[in-house]
Copies of this chain bind each other. A is one copy, B any other.
Amino acid sequence: MSCFEDADTEETLTCLQMTIYHPSQQQGAAVFQAIPLNNRKKLSSSEVIKFGRNPNICQYTFQDKQVSRVQFSLQLFKELDSSVLSFEIKNLSKRTSLLVDNRELGYLNKVDLPYRCMVRFGDYQFLLEKQDGESLEFFETQFFLSPRSLVQEVNWPVPEFSRLSSCSTQSTSPIEIDENEF
């Protein structure tokens, strides 16, 4: 585990690594043009970071008219009786569901993220992986671009009831989205 430190306190920082993919990359589209890749970015623990199309509201924007002005937010919290920082994700799009692993979040639904999970909306895929750190004041984000679909690479657990019938549908198909909904 590669932990980075706060220069002032020498405490290691919690880092959220996000490996991102969108199929239009293969046609040369630049939906992730405004996402800073590879370098870590230090943020205040109390900050709510928003992802979407509107750069006046969102820290991380997608160059894609099909994306909602604000698609979702991520924020840190500390679990009760624990020193570990975790992330909460909340869907802020009125029209598009957010899939966290196989759980579907509607508008304003939220969920606490496990150490590693897949977040999807439309054709967007995000593999989120958390590295723990000591600092409570700051955390870091880091983005990597995946050259290929993440849902084919990662062997996501499939609920028992659907293992035989719809395994391939759950793990590889893009989410269907009504164009009129954007």
CB-CB nearest in chain B for A107: B136
Copies of this chain, whole number: 2
A127 beta carbon closer than 8 Å to chain B = no
Take A46-B70, A48-B48, A70-B46 as given contacts and tell me if A106 and B78 are in contact as well, using a CB distance cutoff of 8 Å. yes
Pick from B79, B88, B109, B136: contact of A78, CB under 8 Å:
B109
Contacts A48-B48, A92-B46 given: A108-B70 contact, CB under 8 Å? no
- Chain A: interface size category: 20 to 34
Is there an interface contact between B77 and A136, defined as CB atoms closer than 8 Å? Answer: no
**A103-125 interface mask toward B, CB cutoff 8 Å, 1 = contact, 0 = none?**
10111111100000000000000
Using a CB–CB distance below 8 Å, which chain A residues touch chain B?
A: 45-46, 48, 70, 76-80, 85, 88, 90, 92, 94, 103, 105-111, 136-137
